[in-house]
Amino acid sequence: MTLPIDLDLLQKRKAIPAKLAQLSYTNPEKAIQLLRKWGEKQVPITPLYEEITQALNSDAQKEAI
């Protein structure tokens, strides 16, 4: 059975709230900025997911230093 919606896209959409919550602990300003982008549908899901992931990775690297 083929789904009409890309499964990868659904998984990213599902992960965004948890990733934003995680980001809010280390970088609340960036988390709010990205939450607004998501809520206002300014950016498609995949680029938004990548931007959130990049922000999380950037914060993780800063903490490791």
For residue range 9-55, what is the model confidence (pLDDT) as tens digits? 999 999 999 999 999 999 999 999 999 999 999 999 999 999 999 99
Q: Flag whether pLDDT at 1 surpasses 80.
A: no
| pLDDT at residue 61 in the model | 79
What single letter denotes the amino acid at residue 2? T
Judged by DSSP in three states, 1 sits in coil
Using alpha carbons, select from 59, 55, 34, 56 the residue that is nearest to residue 45.
34
Domains in the chain: boundaries: 27-60
Q: Which residue has the higher pLDDT, 42 or 64?
A: 42
Question: Phi and psi at residue 51, in whole multiples of 5°?
Answer: -65, -40
Q: Flag whether pLDDT at 65 surpasses 70.
A: no
pLDDT band of residue 59 (cuts 50, 70, 90) is confident
